[in-house]
Amino acid sequence: MMGILLLSMPGGTEWLLIAVVVLLLFGGKKIPELMKGLGQGIREFKTGMNGAEEKKPEEKEEAKKK
């Protein structure tokens, strides 16, 4: 069981290899644009989650009225 866990978590050398591959695939100029898009996606996801939480009490009130 412990062997499976060790294989699933990359160590320092693996992260370095992943970073080099990403740099080679996308180039130095494209990476900041990719990270900006990733950040915007995360921000939109959080906003959507907060919006869903805010709607829940309103939905409960509407259900009580009916």
3-state SS of the chain? Answer: CHHHHHHHCCCHHHHHHHHHHHHHHHCCCHHHHHHHHHHHHHHHHHHHHHHHHHHHHHHHHHHHHC
For the whole model, what pTM was predicted?
0.50
How would residue 57 be classed by pLDDT, with cut points 50, 70 and 90? low
pLDDT at 10: 78
pLDDT over threshold 60, residue 66: no
Amino acid at 27: G
pLDDT over threshold 80, residue 26: yes
How would residue 29 be classed by pLDDT, with cut points 50, 70 and 90? confident
Distance CA 43, CA 31 (A): 18
